[in-house]
Amino acid sequence: MELQPLRNVRILEGYSAVVLGAPLYMFHWHKDAHHFLSQHRKILSGNLPVAIFAGGPFGEGDGNEWHEVRVKLDSELAKFPWLTPISIKIVGGKFDPSKLRFPYNLIPALKKMPASDLRDWAAIRAWASNLAAQFLSDLPQ
Ligand SMILES: Cc1cc2nc3c(=O)[nH]c(=O)nc-3n(C[C@H](O)[C@H](O)[C@H](O)COP(=O)(O)O)c2cc1C
């Protein structure tokens, strides 16, 4: 298994599966995920199985934000109709206003938000440990 930032990946030939993860930023899936999918469309629309996770939500919400993140992610994935992920997971976000970088550190509403870590590691581990079996069952017979 190899772990790489999305933007560093040049070729996917030789791999048997891809797990792609990226956070939601300002109501959009991170641009690196969009670039990655566009760049590797040919192989990802073929026999290489893909699982997807997204970071978000963050802060103290009304309880509906997990669903909203999923709806948002689905609308982003609809831009790639050729992609059929074997699994999609919202993992929760970790947010620290003291670590905001430009230009986000200029947005008062973000700077005022409390730090939060909504990642549910038990659920994330359960999802991840099930992936290998799902990838295997997805292989062409
Ligand atoms: C500037 C900024 C904007 C964000 N916007 C959203 C958002 O629109 N929806 C959401 O669910 N989470 C949002 N988040 C939460 C991120 O998805 C979450 O913090 C994620 O864990 C960030 O991953 P990173 O630490 O790898 O950047 C935002 C976080 C930051 C820092």
Give pLDDT tens digits for 123-136: 999 999 999 999 99
26 vs 106: CA distance, rounded Å: 13
Distance 21 CA to ligand 1 centre (A): 13
Q: Between the CA of residue 71 and those of 16, 35, 91, what are the distances in Å?
A: 29, 20, 14
- Cα of 1 vs centre of ligand 1, distance in Å, is 26
Residue 141 binned pLDDT confidence (cut-offs 50, 70, 90): low
Predicted model pTM: 0.93
Closest approach atom of ligand 1 to CA 99: 31
Specify the 3-state DSSP secondary structure of 136: helix
Mean pLDDT value across the chain: 94
Would you say the CB of residue 24 lies under 6 angstroms from ligand 1?
A: yes
Reply yes or no on whether the pLDDT at 101 is more than 90: yes
pLDDT of residue 62: 74
Task: Provide the pLDDT for residue 140.
Answer: 63
Residue 63's pLDDT band, with cuts at 50, 70 and 90, is confident
Asked if the peptide bond before residue 103 counts as cis, ω within 30 degrees of 0, the response is yes
| Residue with token string 């609308």 | 75
46 Cα: distance to centroid of ligand 1 (angstroms): 31
